[in-house]
Every structure is written in C-alpha cells, then in structure tokens.
Structure 1
Amino acid sequence: MATATPPDPIYTVRVYVDGQAVLYTPNTTVNQLLWMANGQHTVEVVAEDTAGYIATSSIQLNVIGQEPGALNIQDQNTWVSCSATISNSTCAAGLGTATSTLTLHQSSPSLDGSAAKFSIAGNHPYSNELYWIPLGGGNSVSHFTYDLWFYVDQGDAPQSLEFDVNQAFGGTRWTWGSQCDFDQTHHWNVWDPLHEVWVPIPVPCDHFPSNTWIHLIWTLERVGNQVHYMTLNVADQTYNVDTYFTAQPNWYQEEIDIAFQMDGNYKQQPFSVWLDEVNLLAN
C-alpha cells in the first residue's frame, strides 16, 4: 500500500513496474493488486498534485509466488457506479437515469454467506446502471478467467445483463465485454472495442429463471493488440466462442478491472441481482 500526502490535492497517482506504467488512480491511497512475473522488479509510485508538483518513491522486490487472482470480489467496498452518463460522457448509456443501490455482505440468498445485492429501478424506460471495481494493474498477465454466480429475483425483468473484464497499459485498452441480450437478439453479444459495437455470437440467451443461482465462466486472453473471447460456460453448458477483435487504442489510463451492468426494460421493471463467489483469475 502507498499513500501520498502533498499540500495540494492529488491529481494522479501512477504505479510503474520496471519502467512500465501499470496502474493509474486519482486516489491518494493505492491498495490494489499488482500482477508481476516471478523475479526481481523495481516498483515506482509517482504522484502529481494539482499544482504540477511530482513526488516519487521506489522499491526493489523479488516476487517468488503469486496468488491466482482477485477472489470474492463481490465483498470489496470499492465498487463504483454510474447510469447514463459520467462527467458528461456516456457511461451505461440507455434512455434515462436509473435508480440503483448496492448492498454488500448479504447472507441470503448466498452460496457462501456473503453475496452482493445490486438493485435497479427508476422512472424512465430503458435506464441502465454500470458497476465496476478497479482491482489493480499489470502487463505480465494475458489470460483471464472471469468466474462468478448470479441470481435474479425477477428473471423476466432485465433487458440485458452485462459482464466485462478490462486491462489497460501502454496506451491500449483491452475490453472483453459480454451481455446476455434477452429481448432483442436472444443471444449473447460480445464487445468489439475498436468499433465500440456489440456483436451477436451463436450462443443462445433467454431470460434466466427467477430465484435461481446461475454459474458463469468466461475464459479470455490478450493476444498482441487483440482481445480473444475463448469459451463461455453458462448454466453448466460450455460454448467455444473463439472470436477476436482489435483492442481500443489511445487509452491514457492503466488498470485491470471487472464490471457488471444491469439494463432496464421498456417498463423499467425493478429487479435485483445477487453476485457471489466472483473471482478473476489471471496468469
């Protein structure tokens, strides 16, 4: 963990591993995961305040083992959310601003006694809410397994449910976005990050049963400047997706994060989704 305490407000903090920026944050405290290969590394923290002053601190370390990834992410208290826009830019899109809440550490329904409850409502049809959580940074990992369980109380209420993984460094952002489009394509869609469009894949997706735990596993990889959607396992059925897209260029931040989005339907019918045992494995 690193903390910056300058006289003027912090503007940015960046973490470098062996000279490569791998993590960006506007926060004064950095307490996140850094993925690094085993061996000797130099880690440098660079903080810049609003007056333009820069402070740095660096350490040498030797990595001898790694955790498999970020585990039980649903329990973390650093989730961030937005509805249609954020800072005058498109966020969750849709046709209105949703009303949404997140409640952590729900014992029921839950698989392990600590689920996160995401709820959405509102007064305008087709309003959405996007939740994401910064996990850390690193350029040494290129294979991801996004493994989670979800539970919908009103299975016919969502317009769609979205599950994403993002990795960014070196001016490029690799986004593996997926959504179960219940009411339009009735298929899973995946995100083309270069053209910023959803592309249907031949994997069926209809409304999930109410009050039922559904297991979702995506296997994903970064290949050069491309995202590779490898396989999708949903409700114990595995599909070989094997689809590539070019990553998004000209990205100025560095981060590894996951995201979850709920989309409202034509009635903006209220519903809740519980997430449990949310893990992002990376190597």
Structure 2
Amino acid sequence: MKTAILATVLSLMLIASCISSSAQTKKTFSNIQNMTAWTSCDVCSGSGGNGNTAVHWQAQFQSTPSMSGSSSQFYFGGVQAYTSALWWEQLGSNPQYSHFNYDLQFYVTDITAPQALEFDVNQSLNGKKYVFGTECDLRGTYKGYWRVWDATLHWQNTGIACTGITANAWHHLVWEFERTTDGHTHFIAVTVDGVRRVVNRYYNPLNSTAKELNVAFQTDGNKYPNTYSVWLDKVSLIAW
C-alpha cells in the first residue's frame, strides 16, 4: 500500500514538474504593436525584393480605434498599381524556440482596397530562414482564401476561406506555426474570430546567414492605387 502511494506521489510530482517546466519555457512577446523598433520598406516588399515605391507610414499608440487603448496604425497609399509596404519588428535571435502562435487583432478601413493582407513570422538560424508567410487574398487569383508561403513554389492556396472580414470592425487572428525537427516550416492552423481551421502544410526553408526572430505585417495594393489604413492591436507572439 505504501509503495503504491509513494508511486502515485512520485507520478504527480513528475507531472507537476513537466507542467512547470513547460510553462517556464514558453515566452510571450506582448503588445508588439507598441514596440519602438519597427522597420518598414516598400521596394523590398515587392516581387523578388524589387517592387515600386508606395506612400506608407506607421502611427503608434492610437487610442481609437483600439481594443487595448494603444493600437498601431499602418497607412498605405499606392502611387502605382500593385505596390506594397512591409513592416517588421525584431525580437532577438531566440533559436531555442520552434513553436509560434502569432496572435493579434486587426481593423481595416476599406476591405476592397487591399490586394491582400499579410501576417508573417520569420526565424533564421543555422544557415536557414524559416518564412511563416501568410496572406488573406482579397482580390487576387485565390480571392477569399488564405495562402501560405512555400520558399520553392511561393504562394500556395490552402483552400481555407478568409471571407467574413469586414471593414471598420475588429477581427481576431491567430496563426499557429512550427519549425520541425527535420527543418521544415509547418503551418498548423489559423483561427479567425474564434473559428479554427487546420492547415497542416509543410515547406522547405530558404538559405540565410541571419540569426533572428521577427513578426511582420504587409499591406498590398491592387490595380487601383487606393489608400487605406490597417490598425493592429494586442499583437503577441507566444514562442516555445
């Protein structure tokens, strides 16, 4: 009897230790929209890193529209058709992390103006760059669907709808990613406004000498050079 009790106690202690260890190894980067080292470019965000210029800027610490009281506005004004602008925030190298949940709220003024909205996580280590690139295709070939990035074949349609995104309203987005032990990007699932859909796509990484972890957001213009703004709020990256 004592032996059984002791075994039970030891098992519970082991479980508690594992739970504690797991909790300790998780890292949450919170309110990334308020971090002050955001970088942007327009030319580099185009096809092959050689796009056209676009008017773009970021205004942080906005009280309206906002869910937390401090959102970040990303303004895009296309001068020519199909221009784009990319923003990103570096989060250190952090090579120990291989699982990522990119969690944010977004608000767009005109849902007909963007060609697509992109939400990305990038990790570079050991000579490879793992691009967890995603986009809601709003006016392209796969209009109304989520696409994900394949370093070899580029954008791939997931067949998962990104419809239901409306203008002048907040939408909650969560992307789940994994850098696999055999060196692939794994797009696990996407959740929009509480509805989770499994993606389960695997792709190869790029070659890179960088050592970094960052989150990114990109505005894409369509054939009409219309202006629009997107606000991001409660932006976080959970890594473990």
| Alignment partners' CA distance in 1, 2:71 and 2:177 | 24
> Which residue is 2:35 aligned to?
76
| Alignment partners' CA distance in 1, 2:36 and 2:113 | 27
Match of 1:167 among 123, 144, 165: 123
RMSD (Å), alpha carbons: 2.2
Contact 2:98 2:239 (C-alpha < 8 Å) held by counterparts: yes
**Greater helix proportion:** 2
Contact 1:119 1:271 (C-alpha < 8 Å) held by counterparts: yes
| Alignment partners' CA distance in 2, 1:260 and 1:128 | 11
Contact 1:156 1:208 (C-alpha < 8 Å) held by counterparts: no
State the Cα distance separating 1:207 from its structure 2 match: 7.0
Q: For CA contacts below 8 A with separation 6 or more, give which structure has more relative contact order.
A: 2
> Which residue is 2:16 aligned to?
none
| Alignment partners' CA distance in 1, 2:26 and 2:134 | 26
Aligned CA distance change for structure 1 residues 261 and 196 (closer, same or farther; 3 Å): farther
TM-score if structure 2 supplies the norm length? 0.85
- Aligned partner of 2:204: which letter? T
> Which residue is 1:281 aligned to?
238
Contact 1:181 1:206 (C-alpha < 8 Å) held by counterparts: no
**Greater strand proportion:** 1
State the Cα distance separating 1:154 from its structure 2 match: 1.0
| Alignment partners' CA distance in 2, 1:109 and 1:154 | 14
Helix, strand or coil at the partner of 1:239: strand
Match of 1:228 among 186, 190, 209: 186
Residue ranges of structure 1 left out of the alignment (5+ in a row): 1-37, 40-63
Cα deviation per residue 1:115-149 (whole Å; 9 max; x = unaligned)?
00000003211110000111111221111000000
Aligned residues: 217
| Alignment partners' CA distance in 1, 2:65 and 2:184 | 38
> Which residue is 1:246 aligned to?
204
Contact 1:203 1:239 (C-alpha < 8 Å) held by counterparts: yes
> Which residue is 1:142 aligned to?
98
Residue ranges of structure 2 left out of the alignment (5+ in a row): 1-19
| Alignment partners' CA distance in 1, 2:70 and 2:164 | 25
State the Cα distance separating 1:97 from its structure 2 match: 1.1
Contact 1:84 1:90 (C-alpha < 8 Å) held by counterparts: no
State the Cα distance separating 1:114 from its structure 2 match: 0.2
Kindly indicate whether residue 138 of structure 2 is the aligned counterpart of residue 179 of structure 1: no
Tell me the percent identity: 36
Kindly indicate whether residue 225 of structure 2 is the aligned counterpart of residue 268 of structure 1: yes
TM-score if structure 1 supplies the norm length? 0.72
